[in-house]
Amino acid sequence: MNNPESELKPDGVYVLRSTIITALFVTIVNIGYSQFYYEFTEFSSLDIIGMHYIATASLLSVSLAGMLFLILIRYSSKYKLLYISGVIGITIFSILMPLSPDLPDGQPTPLGFFELTAPMHLFTGVSAALFIPNWYNPRRFFFRFRKIKKNK
């Protein structure tokens, strides 16, 4: 018996659509979290991490993850496993980066910086790892579970 999902070749349009939706979702949640964090913790380094930086980083990282997924679909038969493992590995690395004593521009890392950035990195990575490979399939896009009649 054939697996119905294996008969469907992933298409770049569906991957692009799932990447855009995931990127917008992640960006909105990350901006909301940062505003919540600024409001309740008195973290005052808005010049270091402003909303435009969070939006740009969220959109760019999820878009790059979507491009990686599309490349893996084209050139590997184990694209889902490779993609999820790679994104989780990069996410772990990116969570550890704010533990550095200095920022990339040489300024000392402000207190509360790790608590601000680590949850956003984790949410972005987990969302990209789970949503992009599971929403690209047009048979279950947006969790629509309906049977598609096969042409015989």
Residue type, 34: S
Assess if residue 89 is contained within a domain. yes
Using one digit for the tens of pLDDT, what is the confidence trace for 44-101? 666 667 888 899 999 999 999 999 999 998 888 888 899 999 999 999 999 998 888 8
Three-state secondary structure call for residue 17: helix
Residue range of the domain that includes 27: 12-143
pLDDT tier, 104 (very low <50, low <70, confident <90, very high otherwise): confident
pTM of the model: 0.78
Assess if residue 27 is contained within a domain. yes
Residue type, 113: F
* Helix locations, 1-152, DSSP H: 12-41, 51-75, 79-96, 113-135
Cα dihedral value 18, 21, 24, 29, nearest 10: -100
What the block records as the tokens of 105 is 């521009």
Assess if residue 87 is contained within a domain. yes
Residue type, 100: S
Assess if residue 96 is contained within a domain. yes
Considering only CA atoms, which of 131, 147, 138, 108 is closest in space to residue 14?
A: 138
Assess if residue 107 is contained within a domain. yes
Give the total number of structural domains in the chain. Answer: 1
Tell me the backbone φ, ψ of residue 102, rounded to 5 degrees. -125, 150
Assess if residue 21 is contained within a domain. yes
Within a 10 A sphere around the Cβ of 98, how many other Cβ atoms?
16
Using one digit for the tens of pLDDT, what is the confidence trace for 7-46? 444 567 888 888 999 999 999 999 999 988 888 887 766 6
Assess if residue 63 is contained within a domain. yes
Assess if residue 2 is contained within a domain. no
